Homo-oligomer: A and B are copies of this chain.
Amino acid sequence: MRYIEFKKIFMDYKDAIYQEIYSENRDIIRVKKENTVVRNLEKIFEATLKISNKKGFQAMSMRNLSQESGLSMGALYAYFPGKEELLEMLQRQHSNIMSRIFEDRLKNNMDAAEKLETAIRTHIYLSEAMQPWFYFAYMEVKNMPRAKQEKSMAGELASEKIFYDILLEGFEKKVFRDKNHQMIASLLKALLQDWYLKRWKYRARKISVDEYADFIVETVKSFLLLTGPN
């Protein structure tokens, strides 16, 4: 799969994101017209990600957000009860879409090597399509209340486990070498995250998302496969 194909599939999800935020937060959002909510939530979230990823969520004032989103401060508070809840909405939405897409894309009839490649590409392509979200989620966890932090760590572990299970399956079916699978899965996560954490570097080197994904897939396969091109 190439990024361009992934993006098409992803677009279907994307259109649904803001509608979903609306329905998940009916009780919190004071505005009632769905169209209006969807339109303004998009403005608000984009502005929040833009400012926060530049100087941090904490450093973004509501006045900043008001100006960047084009809504007045009074209007903003019709969409969330307080700044903290805005952060929470963002984080929850990020983790929702993450787990949903992985569930949808990893079919059980794939063999281990296929699954591994699909999981790697899904992770990288998704983090490319939603780069500001991923960056935000990574950078702002530590500034959240402990309960939310733990949820986020659980998310990290869950997504690591996807890879761990694939490695284990591949080993049991004798297509992957015997390695410390837990450790490999953990390190693989680090490689995948580097794509959205160090965007400036890869952009400066003109490395495309497909090139990055190809390289990771190839490297990991040559490292793990018992019968491989290596």
Encoded as 1 (CB less than 8 Å from any B CB) or 0, chain A from 15 to 26 comes to: 000000000000
Q: Which of A54, A190, A205 has the most B CB atoms < 10 Å from its CB? A: A190
Asked if A36 lies at the interface with its beta carbon under 8 angstroms from chain B, I say no
Q: How large is the interface on A (under 10, 10 to 19, 20 to 34, 35 or more residues)?
A: 20 to 34
* Alpha-carbon gap, A77 to B29, bound state (A): 44
- State the Cβ distance, A100 to closest chain B Cβ, in Å: 24
* Alpha-carbon gap, A10 to B29, bound state (A): 54
B186 close to A142 (CB less than 8 A)? no
SS class of chain A's interface: helix, strand, loop or mixed?
Answer: helix
A191 close to B187 (CB less than 8 A)? yes
A53 close to B142 (CB less than 8 A)? yes
Encoded as 1 (CB less than 8 Å from any B CB) or 0, chain A from 144 to 160 comes to: 00000000010011000
Residue of B nearest to A218 (CB): B180
Q: Which residues of B contact A187 (CB under 8 A)?
A: 191, 194, 216, 219
Asked if A99 lies at the interface with its beta carbon under 8 angstroms from chain B, I say no
